[in-house]
Amino acid sequence: MTDGVRIAVVAGEVSGDQLGAGLLRELSQRLPGVRFEGVGGPLMIAEGCKSLVPIETLSVLGVTEIAGRLFKLLRIRRDLARHFLADPPDLFIGVDSPGFNLGLAERLKRAGIPTIQYVSPQVWAWRSYRVRKIRRAVDRVLALFPFESKFYKQHRVPATFVGHPLADEIAGDVDRVALRKHLQLPDDKTIIALLPGSRVSELKAHAELFVRTAQWLHARNPQLHFIAPFVNRRTRVIFEDAVKQQGAWDLPITRLHGHSRQAMGAADIVLLASGTAALEAMLLKRPMVVTYKVSLLSSWLIQAFAHVKYFSMPNHLAGRRLVPEYLQRDARPAALGQAVERGLKATTEAAETLQAFERLSKKLRRGANVRAAAAVLAVLRRAGKLRRLARRAP
């Protein structure tokens, strides 16, 4: 029987909630009566996860930003560890948020609880010495990108490339005209989507920069219209404060609650903070300009320990500068604005970039939820947690 299987799962941000929800949905189909508890957002909760802590409390950005909330995060992790050690689950899954999840996983694994990390920490990008901690902390890594499983094989860490769920969701061209009509956007304007991030700390770092860039662009071309989606009221308030501070009330910006994918699909080009949004824009085959800003200390640490040439995922997957990216001091309104203007031009290079987006998307389109669930069941089976598992029709 599989009744009574209990899985602890912890996600720490919006993208983790999305990934976790798909995995939980697939596991529920394969494990009748399975129970989930830990930390999740609205999507994971909708799939049956009992969230013990609000997901927003784990969402932070950068080294110094984490330091500012370190004691609270440590307390939450300690409380979760005590909870799961007192009543051990059959398996622990950390969804992204490796800074939080790996420490928790290591403690649970020492107590004999099987552990999985879903979404690889970027050890291939910087601070590769962390792979030793990953080896101690987890029984298997579920990797979203093909180069990650190769990296782990070299370092003797069990890993499975499952593909990326977003690549499965975003398959085929989206109807830009229909999306603009649905979002009530003007059909005679050039649309620029603004995505300064999903976390409060990201909005604090990027809101003013994005507003000033929009001002720079609009001053040069009044035919532009902007669209800005926000994950919650708090992030929107930070953006609105930046609009007010820059005296930019006259900017034509359509604000949305959620619907970031639709906003990107409706746009001619996307200006975004590096992260999952860059991958989504690539899958949607939308031109983009990528930027990112963190604290000075975080920036110094990244430069000191990084060993990759590019920081945006489309560029890393391609192994070349496929999309323009601007980090820290290079992230200035004029520089971003000029890159956006270049991206709007119909050139041979622009067409080749979109073709490259499609090739990269196909490599990631593997049925990730199904493959991830199969890997989870394999870990449970090896740990003797499943006495009987009914065969699931393909």
pLDDT at 388 over 50: no
pLDDT tens column, 359-377: 999 999 999 999 999 999 9
Phi and psi torsions of 151, nearest 5°: -60, -45
Q: What is the mean pLDDT of residues 311-328?
A: 91
Q: What is the mean pLDDT of residues 271-285?
A: 94
Taking the model in full, what pTM does it have?
0.82
Name residue, tokens 């391609």: 318
For 147, residues 6+ apart whose C-beta sits below 8 A from its C-beta are: 124, 317
Q: What is the mean pLDDT of residues 285-302?
A: 74
Average pLDDT, the chain: 89
Is 158 within a domain? yes
pLDDT tens column, 199-252: 888 999 999 999 999 999 999 999 999 999 998 899 999 999 999 999 999 999
pLDDT tens column, 54-100: 988 886 544 444 555 778 888 999 999 999 999 999 999 999 888 89
Q: Are residues 157 and 209 in the same domain?
A: no
Question: Percentage of residues in the chain with pLDDT exceeding 90?
Answer: 73
For 26, residues 6+ apart whose C-beta sits below 8 A from its C-beta are: 369, 370, 372, 373
Of 136 and 69, the one with more pLDDT: 136
The parent domain of residue 125 ranges over 6-163+366-382
| Count of structural domains, the chain | 2
For 213, residues 6+ apart whose C-beta sits below 8 A from its C-beta are: 271, 333, 336, 337, 340
Q: Are residues 153 and 257 in the same domain?
A: no
The Cα 164–Cα 177 span in angstroms is 27
Is 68 within a domain? yes
Q: In CATH, what number is assigned to the domain containing residue 26?
A: 3.40.50.2000
Q: Are residues 148 and 236 in the same domain?
A: no
Q: Are residues 227 and 340 in the same domain?
A: yes
Q: What is the mean pLDDT of residues 251-277?
A: 95
Look at residue 72 in the predicted model and tell me its pLDDT: 85
Is 168 within a domain? no
Look at residue 2 in the predicted model and tell me its pLDDT: 46
Q: Are residues 117 and 39 in the same domain?
A: yes
Q: Are residues 81 and 39 in the same domain?
A: yes
